Every structure is written in structure tokens, then in C-alpha cells.
Structure 1
């Protein structure tokens, strides 16, 4: 080999070293994770300060550092406004050197921040917003969706309730895109199984009086009254359903996006018998109980599924950085998709499109007589196989094809 060729060879090796594992590094010498949540509005109980605590616990349990570099958790209140959330995400990425954003309740906010993260080539882990579009349509190689999406919330639940005798359905639906999506996907399952929808009532966000809707549902004679809403809309409707005697009758009441804090706030005399599916319940395993005990010591409440998924997602992200040797978004997300997910003893994996796959559980709220403590609220009815719960992957959303 002549001297010129040897020089070219040496240069090539140097470039390879810079672009390969030897160049792997932590940007800014800090792994900075932003919890973008609702700290003061209707989702503050299911997310809020508890979301920040869950992220902090994950960082601390990981040792507070990865590859010798510290892990820092920052947080902000998006005020349930997509423009505010987008502005915070841009500032975090451009100025504050945030490497990843997690949480994101509200569909419009999650979609907005997902778009910013794709543009800025940063990691986003969505643990609260539920629309299945986050992987079915607007997927990204650096985005992952951890919570049970609108398809899982409805398809698995609707099938399970149908199989337990729920052949005819009446929907009380919040009149916006999220409520419409829940009803549409649940209806498709019910009708595909031979059931039918006998009626629908739609109401605006923040409705105060549900009496006319509940009376229509009661008089419909349906087997199931399904509430396609979330947060205050859901809990107010359930409270009034109890006042009208629906919880004492023959109809099965089912929700779709339900948090343990909702049930705790309603109380067992009101919520007992309510049926829904969930990715997480604090009492599902030894691992979940151990985490919940520590979380309760810090917050005074048991973790919601959103908060538990934040702990899971942040832990998995830090493991991926450790494996990849870098917090560069593409490399870290490839590693995230290659490793099994530690999900409180429940088998779970991240699909190539970023969809977390697992087997949700159908739960029913306990009666007061069956409950053994203030947070002993759910009983498991059956496991929902992931094949029933989640949509097949859109081939265009395989990692690297929608980047």
C-alpha cells in the first residue's frame, strides 16, 4: 500500500470511528427529559405533579445518570392549549437542550408536540393522549405511544362487554373528535359481532346537566350505556347516572378512558359495577404494588396508568441510551424498539412504529363490601389479548419509513 492510499485508509477509519460507536455521546453532557403536562387543569390528577414525580422516580431508580452523565427532569404546564405546548416544546429543544418530552394529555396537544419533535429530530414519548392516529397516521421513528389508544380502549372493552351479554348499546358521547373516535371504533366492534347501537346522545364539553341524555339511555332498554368521554365530563355523567338509578339497574355502564383517580373521586357507592379496560392498575402485580407504595409516599395517591407509563417510558428510554451509547434520537429510539419493556411484570414490547404492545385487562369497579381498603377499587374480569386491542401496524409507519 502506498503512502497516499495509506493516508486515505487512515482518514476513512477516522471517519468511521466518528460516525460509529466510538463517537457515541450524550449531547450537552446531560440527559434532559421534559414532562409536558396539565399542572392546573382537568387532567392534573391523572397527570400533573404526579407525572413529574413518576419521571423523577425513574431517573433516581436508574441511578441518576447514564453513561456517566446526569439525568435531569424539567416540567411545564401546557394549559391544555396546543399553541402553548408547541411553543414550550420548541423552546425546550432549541434553547434548553431537552432531549425528550413525555406525558402530553389531550389529542391536539400530543399531535402538535409530535410534529415539533419530528421536525427537530427529538424523542417524544406519549403516555396520556389516546388517539390511535399517533401511530396509524402521524408516526415517526423518534415517537412512541405508550398508553392504550382509542382502538384499544374501545375494541377490547367493547368485545369483552359484548361477550358478557352486552348486545345492544346506547352511547353518551362528548361532542368532539376524541368522543367521536371512541364511539366510532366501539360501534364497529359491536356491529361486527352482531350487536347494535340503539341510540346516541351527544353533549358539549363541560356539560353540567346530563339528565335528558341519561333518561333517554335508560328508556332505550339497551344492555349497555357507554360513556365516550373523559375527565370531568365522564365523572359528572356517572354521578348523575347514579342519581337516576342507572347504577342500580340491569344496564351495564362502561367507560373507555378511566383513571383510578376518577373512581376514587366518585366513590364505590357511585362507581361500583362500572366496566372498562386499562393498561395498568396499582394492585396488578408485586412490581406494581412496590412502585405504587413508593409513589403514594411522595404524592398521597396511587399512580394512575399515565403516571405508571411515564415511569416505564422514562426507564426504558434511559436503558436505550445506555445501550446505544448516545441520546441521539434515531439511535436511542432504535434501541428502544429492540429491547423488551419492563412493564411491572407484564410482557410488553415497542413495535417498529412506536406502539407499545401488551395485553390490557378488563376491570369492574368493586362494591363497598368487596373492597378491603381506600384504594382497593378494581377487580379483574379478563385479559384482553393484544391482537384484539391494537390495530395492525401501518406498513408506512415502520421505523425509518416515516421520518
Structure 2
């Protein structure tokens, strides 16, 4: 009888454990929401590429986790914070989304990361760059994965200062990302003995920067720093060439340049640009292999946003499997605990402030004569180790960071 009771208790425990395992996945599905720019000026830095990368990760993971299906829902925020907030609330409240991904446009990422905290869900940011996301605006429910303005400023700013270009003038997109990028780069410039002569802020939706560029040209600053991105940056580089800014002895610094921007400009215009990036498709055998798979789906080479969306999605699903649940708190704990070793990053780790720490790379755009073919654009100038690339925790204003 004793053996029978023990066996019955063991069987009951097994059943209860199995039931708990089933219940551990909310709504019997793990759902990822891609909130991105599908149609606007940042769509080439996110959009269809982001969706494709995330779907690749889900497919490579096997399509299920903890025995439950993984689903994707997609929405276009149109670069409108109010629209993004409404869509994010619908994702969390109605669609029962567990994690919102990409979130290009820093104003939008800042808002949605706070909403993730409020709803006890997760937000993983790859498209946006504002370093505020892991500084004063950090949350226990959000991760900033691919890059940030601090790392961009550290890489490109230091490279230009080392080359002897001490005086700077900023053309800055007038929204959260541009402000953060100008502030972080200004700090680097001044710390290395440089000076900022002036700056002009432009509406992010503008397509004519003629008047702004003329002010930068008149300043005689050695560096005209473009603190923005998207089609506006591409148009600014083209206009700078037309106005003879480079011929006049000034240098252009693209503080956030995507490989799709170089494609749009062409090497004739883009040659010599110094930029900082988290990923280049031709870096090694692993990046080339994954990038060829991505190219087959999207018909262009991936950039750091695409690669970051894939890597972070794989890491998220791995964390769910390790946690045995899709509960946000348990998954966030595993996301921070587990190292990241894939084609995107080696020995990557997520700090308590939500910053994913990994190496960054300073590249220079090749001359047309140096390129061996389409998408062969970059030559490596410097590798910045992860512990040097991002804001040190001792300087952080994130309330989650414990300090002595």
C-alpha cells in the first residue's frame, strides 16, 4: 500500500508539473509584436527587413517554444508617437503580445518602453538609438540591443578627433534621437579637447537642408556632423557635395549611417565617410552566411538593425525556454543571465540597465576603386571593445543600477 501511495503521489506530481508547464505560456501562444516604420523615411532601416529578420529567427528556433506556437503581429507606427502608443496598447491589451520588437524612432521607443513596464510585458529595441533608453529612462522591462548614441559618438567622434578635426558644427534632427546623439557626441568632442562652434536643429520630416548646410559651411568648422538618419541624412550628404562643403576643406561625419544609406548615396558621394556600426555583413564567415540567407528573402544586405532583431529574438525565445515560462519578470531575469554568442555578438551580455554590451566597429566607406562589387562598402578602422563602447555603469543615471 505504501508503494502504491508513493507511486500515486509521484503520478499526481507529474500531472501537476505538466499542467503548470502548459499554463506557464500565457494564452497558449508566445506572441511577438513588430512595431516599426513600414512606409516612412526610416522604413529602409526597419520595416520589412525587421519583420523578415524576426520571422527568420522564429523559423530557425523551430516555430514553437515550450510546446506552444510563436506568432508575429506587425503594425506601422508612421513615426507618430500617439499612433505608436495606441498600437502598443492594442498589442499588449487586445492582441496579448508578450514582447514588442524593433521600435525604430527614439521618441516612440521611449514611450513604449515605459508602457512595457506599466503592463509588465517586454520591449526589445533595435531600431532606435537614444542612450536615454538605458540611462535616465531605463526600465526593468526593456532592452536596448544593437547600438546607442553613446557608442556612435564614442566611435565616430573619437576617430575624427584623433585625425585632428577639432572644431564641430551639428546639423541635428529635432527629436529625441537627434538630441541624444548631439549631446553624447558633444561630450566626446569636449573630452578630447575639441570645440563645438554651433548647431542647427531641423524638423525630422524636412527634405531640403540647403539653408542649414549653408550655416554649417559659413561656420568654418572642420567637421559638419549630421546627427540624424533616414532619407534626410542621404539628402544632406548629396546637398553637401553640391555646395562644395568637402571641397572647401570641411569633413562630413555621419553619426548614424546605415548600409542602405550608402547604397542610396553611391560610393562616389559616400566615399571617405567615417561611421560606427554594430554589424557588417562581410565581417567574417558567420556574418556572410547569415546575410546571404537574409538577402535571399529581402533582396538587400542586412544592417545592424536587421541582425539585432534576429539575434535579440533568438535570445528572447532562448530565455523563455530556460525560464520555463513567458512571464516577463522571469524571462527578463534569464535574458540578463544568459550570454549572447552568435554571428551578431560574441560574449554579449545584458546589464541591469537593459544595455546589451558587445563590441562596436568603426568603419570607413571605400572609394569606388576599392570596392569589389555591390554591397562591398566598408573597410575596418577600429574595433571598440564592448566594455569601452557603452556608457559605464558608474556614470549611469538609471535607477536600476546599484552604486556603492
- Same fold by TM-score, threshold 0.5 exceeded? yes
CA contact (8 A) 1:255 1:276 kept: yes
Within 5 A, what are the aligned runs for 1:239-254? Answer: 239-248=238-247, 250-254=249-253
CA contact (8 A) 1:36 1:104 kept: yes
Q: Quick one: distance in 2 between partners of 1:78 and 1:293?
A: 29
CA contact (8 A) 2:155 2:275 kept: no
CA contact (8 A) 1:24 1:324 kept: no
**Greater mean deviation of Cα atoms: 269-278 or 179-188:** 179-188
CA contact (8 A) 2:363 2:382 kept: yes
CA shift, 1:343, in A, is 4.2
SS at match of 1:45: helix
Q: Quick one: distance in 2 between partners of 1:53 and 1:103?
A: 12
Q: 1:398 aligns with which of 382, 390, 400?
A: 400
**Greater mean deviation of Cα atoms: 196-205 or 86-95:** 196-205
CA contact (8 A) 2:172 2:228 kept: yes
Query: Structure 1's 220 and 388: CA in aligned 2 closer, same or farther, altered over 3 A?
Result: farther
Q: Quick one: distance in 2 between partners of 1:145 and 1:224?
A: 29
Query: Structure 1's 92 and 219: CA in aligned 2 closer, same or farther, altered over 3 A?
Result: closer
**Residue 125 (structure 2) pairs with residue 126 (structure 1):** yes
CA contact (8 A) 1:169 1:196 kept: yes
Q: Quick one: distance in 1 between partners of 2:110 and 2:198?
A: 31
**Greater mean deviation of Cα atoms: 263-272 or 334-343:** 334-343
CA contact (8 A) 2:189 2:195 kept: yes
Aligned counterpart, 1:5 = none
Q: Quick one: distance in 1 between partners of 2:24 and 2:286?
A: 32
CA contact (8 A) 2:278 2:304 kept: yes
TM-score by length of 2: 0.89
Q: Quick one: distance in 1 between partners of 2:388 and 2:240?
A: 29
Aligned counterpart, 1:168 = 167
Aligned counterpart, 1:222 = 221
Aligned counterpart, 2:5 = none
Aligned counterpart, 2:87 = 88
Aligned counterpart, 1:201 = 200
**Greater mean deviation of Cα atoms: 102-111 or 387-396:** 387-396
SS at match of 1:337: helix
Q: Quick one: distance in 2 between partners of 1:177 and 1:332?
A: 29
Aligned counterpart, 1:4 = none
CA contact (8 A) 2:359 2:384 kept: yes
Q: Quick one: distance in 2 between partners of 1:249 and 1:389?
A: 32
CA shift, 1:384, in A, is 1.9
**Greater mean deviation of Cα atoms: 244-253 or 354-363:** 244-253
Q: Quick one: distance in 2 between partners of 1:358 and 1:127?
A: 14
SS at match of 1:199: strand
Q: Quick one: distance in 2 between partners of 1:200 and 1:142?
A: 35
**Greater mean deviation of Cα atoms: 381-390 or 347-356:** 381-390
Q: Quick one: distance in 1 between partners of 2:398 and 2:193?
A: 32
Within 5 A, what are the aligned runs for 1:219-368? Answer: 219-248=218-247, 250-344=249-343, 346-347=345-346, 348-368=348-368
CA shift, 1:317, in A, is 0.2
CA shift, 1:93, in A, is 1.6
CA shift, 1:387, in A, is 3.7
Query: Structure 1's 244 and 396: CA in aligned 2 closer, same or farther, altered over 3 A?
Result: closer
**Greater mean deviation of Cα atoms: 335-344 or 200-209:** 200-209
Q: Quick one: distance in 2 between partners of 1:198 and 1:118?
A: 40
Consecutive unaligned residues of structure 1, counting only runs of 5 or more, are 1-9
Q: Quick one: distance in 1 between partners of 2:272 and 2:34?
A: 34
CA shift, 1:182, in A, is 1.6
Consecutive unaligned residues of structure 2, counting only runs of 5 or more, are 1-8
Q: Quick one: distance in 2 between partners of 1:292 and 1:326?
A: 31
CA shift, 1:84, in A, is 1.6
Q: Quick one: distance in 1 between partners of 2:344 and 2:208?
A: 42
**Greater mean deviation of Cα atoms: 315-324 or 141-150:** 141-150
Q: Quick one: distance in 2 between partners of 1:61 and 1:177?
A: 35
Deviations 1:267-310 (A, max 9, x none): 11111111110111111222211111111111111112111110
CA shift, 1:220, in A, is 3.9
**Greater mean deviation of Cα atoms: 301-310 or 86-95:** 86-95
Aligned counterpart, 1:3 = none
**Residue 381 (structure 2) pairs with residue 381 (structure 1):** yes
Aligned counterpart, 1:98 = 97
